[in-house]
Amino acid sequence: MRVALGSTRPLVAKTTLVGDPGDLVSRLPGSAPYAWIRHGEGLVAWGEAARVTVPPGPGRFEWAHDWLSATFGETDVEDEVRAPGSGPVAFGSFTFDPASPGSVLVVPRAVLVRRDGQAWLTTVGEDLLDPVLPFDDPGRIRYGDGSLTAPEWEHAVARAVRLIRSGRLAKAVLARDLTAVAERPIDVRLLLSRLAQRFPECYTFSCAGLVGATPELLVRRTGETIESLVLAGTAPRGTDASDDLARGAALFASEKDRQEHACAVESVREALTPLCSELKVPEEPELLVLPNVQHLASPVTGRLAAGASVLDVVAAMHPTAAVGGTPTATALEVIRELEGMDRAGYAGPVGWIDARGDGEWGIALRCAQITGTRARLFAGCGIMAGSNPASELAEAQAKLRVMQYALEG
């Protein structure tokens, strides 16, 4: 089942401590970079020791678990660090819709990590001599409509509101895409560098061409401990400090946004309760303030009951109400009916897992799929009975500006 590129022999992974590497993104060579960074710490990686496309379908996470078990189980490991993210690591991106193709797992040939005052390098296979070249600027960017024009998307929101008010469902999350074409090939490293500097509170990620800075941690597993950050309910930043505080207070008091957030928190509670011996869910959300928007946020913590891997938890949680809707099955039907597009990896799980089952996975928000000179940008909004199409469009445009900034600088 394992696919080892260029070899039929077992993989050999070696992890050694290294000096402080400085800026992690600056250490990446130009081709196929992988990343998971927050506040300057995390993982960057390059090359492919093993790669597989996960078959679509309801059992895709179980299939991925089996592939990872086989791949890691056949790997000879020398690991002097023995910490989350040491030894062999796989990066992954799963499509939002289980029926959509394109989910992928990759074991990079090199993984550079900085965490808690330590840094280490894991190599899989032969030593790497990939040159690190200066970042390339993509030049002028031209934008175009994605699957729907702005008025068409507003019409889709209005239709979703009518379906919610009719009682078919309580919430639907509708996504919008935007196309971008650059003068020159888009250097993912440049996007990562801009995102990591501008949005340090977010998780800046790159996997198989999917690049972004998500504020939403789906799950982090460290031993038996898991953490999740639930985000739902959004307001733009203010024009000054006073306006900013007023907007945050209005968001916190908004019945529509509080209800949307409660739906998301409950979906996470339902998914995690069967897996956990302990689960702590705050009674009230807090305000997460980012450079472009503010969110209602609820940090959730728990202790796993039976040693499940981080990917097992991802499988149980996806899709949350924060990116799908409530009830889930009906929301997925409405999304397929109204969006007029395949989301691909947008709003799907993205992150990393090591051979011990530790790892960090986020929801792929504020992101774009990069192919050569082209980019497909995504943003989404939670639609409730009280949603206004024009306001939701403005929210989506605010979220799209994250990747527009990354492209333009």
Active site residues: 171, 216
CB 366 within 8 A of CB 212: yes
What sign for the dihedral angle of Cα 17, 21, 22, 27? Answer: negative
Q: Where are the alpha helices (DSSP H) in 173-325?
A: 188-198, 241-253, 255-272, 310-317
- Of 101, 99, 77, 98, the closest CA to residue 89 belongs to 77
CA distance 148 to 254: 29
- In three-state secondary structure terms, 68 is helix
- Of 366, 368, 374, the closest CA to residue 138 belongs to 374
Strand partners of residue 90: 353
DSSP string of 164-188, one letter each residue: HHTTS-SEEEEEEEEEEEESS---H
CA distance 363 to 349: 5
Q: Output the six-digit token pair for 122.
A: 């894991």
- Residue 258's Cβ-count burial label (10 Å; 0-12, 13-18, 19+) is middle
Q: Output the six-digit token pair for 342.
A: 């395949």
CB 389 within 8 A of CB 157: yes
> At residue 398, what are phi and psi to the nearest 5 degrees?
-65, -40
CB 271 within 8 A of CB 299: no
CA 190, 94, 382 angle in degrees (round to 5)?
A: 85
Name the residue type at position 6.
G
- Of 197, 237, 227, the closest CA to residue 213 belongs to 197
Q: How does DSSP classify residue 109?
A: S
CA distance 95 to 101: 7
CA distance 310 to 393: 34
